[in-house]
Amino acid sequence: MSILVLSVSHKTASVEFLSQLAMDAPGAAKFADELMTSEHVDEAVVLSTCNRTELYASVSRFHGGLEDTAGALARFAGLTVGELQNRCAVYFDEGAVAHTFGVASGLDSLVVGESQILGQVRAALTQSQGHGTVGTVLNSLFQQAIRVGKRVHTETSVGSAGRSLVTAAYDLLASRIGDLAGRRVLVVGAGSMATLAARTAAAAGASVICVNRTYARAHKLAEAIGGRAREWAELPAALGTADVVVTCTGARQLLISRAELTGTPVRGIVDLALPADVASDVTDLGVELVNLARLVEDQVDSATAQQIDAARLLVRSEVADFLGLRRAATVAPTVVALRSMASEVVAAEMQRLDLRVPELTQRERDEVHRTVRRVVDKLLHAPTVRVQELAADSASVDYAAALRELFALDPQTVAAVMSPEVPR
């Protein structure tokens, strides 16, 4: 099986285009289920965040898998496949592994080195595991990507800087209207991004009010940060008492229009939702609006090229190790089949011995069997260990095929010892 990644991100498309592809968690799970109906797709994970929608798949055929995944995503967004292909990147096998590790490490993020993506990758994997759309291939890929992401965040200066989309947005807003200390901040939403925004604002000395469609979630968040919660129906009233608004919901339509802000004391808005929660023309009121499109346009990351290079070096090393283990694993079924064939040869020769020398005692027969078995094991040990080492070190030679050819192994026998597919 091969790994295929279809990626549409802030690097390949505008925020407006990305909004057409945005999915909430239930939508991503449903879409992964749809991908599994393809005859070319065996496993699927959908990662949809505020600056990317990516499809990860284990496929039996590259072109068939790409055609099916691209077609499904284009239909979802109401686009032609051509329109989608002009704004996406495709990664396959080694490139797919490198991309996945880079994403989990925050090196492909709008804010390089941000750590929130790691939780989003973990959540996407957990959801796919729960829905049965992930098997051994993607599970191994994502588990390793999460481990690599943790290494980057703990072992490099890029990851240890504590940067996030929220802090980048606050920094940009502060450069225009001043710090949050002493401000009245209204946080709309209670998901992971909104939670981080609320905690960051409270830590900066702001007075925080939380509003969410589910009041219990808003109350829980407000209680955790020493803020206050208000009912969803009170959002217009809450806007009338806020200096800064931060919003990140999963709404498919605008929540805050220019009319709703007219006459309010709101001076700044951070809109991290995709699609956007706030109308862009609120700037006509003199409101400073920091949204995803603005971050893409204005963001200057604090990480230096040297810091980023150090993190990428770590990721490249991990990619090489993962691919080596993966190549070695492809030889394992052939090695098992070879040892199985050797056992059959030993058994056949022992039967011949019984016919030719029937007077052997059971003790003598057992000793002969152990001797022959030891000879076979010793003869096979070095070449089978070495072939797995060679496979791990080289992607240019099919050592499994060479082993099958040298020992005249039946491909069906090799296939019989391979791990069974994970049920869909």
Query: What does pLDDT average to in each consecutive run of 10 residues of the chain (424 residues)?
Result: 93 92 93 96 95 95 95 95 93 95 93 88 96 95 96 82 82 94 96 93 97 96 96 96 95 92 96 93 96 81 74 92 77 78 86 89 90 87 76 70 76 56 43
In tens, the pLDDT along 359-391 reads 889 999 899 999 988 898 888 888 777 777 777
Query: Does the predicted TM-score (pTM) go above 0.85?
Result: no
What are the binding residues for substrate?
49-52, 109, 114-116, 120
Q: All domains of the chain, ordered by start, with CATH?
A: 2-161 (3.30.460.30), 179-298 (3.40.50.720), 321-416 (no CATH)
Long-range Cβ contact pairs of 89-94 (< 8 A, separation 24 or more):
89/6, 89/7, 89/8, 89/9, 89/11, 89/12, 90/4, 90/5, 90/6, 90/7, 90/66, 91/4, 91/5, 91/7, 92/2, 92/3, 92/4, 92/5, 92/62, 93/2, 93/3, 94/319, 94/323, 94/395
Active-site annotation holds for 50: yes
What are the binding residues for NADP(+)?
189-194
What are the binding residues?
49-52, 109, 114-116, 120, 189-194
Question: Which sign, positive or negative, has the C-alpha torsion 179, 185, 188, 189?
Answer: positive
Annotated active-site residue in 50, 88, 210, 248 = 50
* CB-count exposure of residue 149 (10 Å: 0-12, 13-18, 19+): buried
In tens, the pLDDT along 31-73 reads 999 999 999 999 999 999 988 999 999 999 999 999 999 999 9
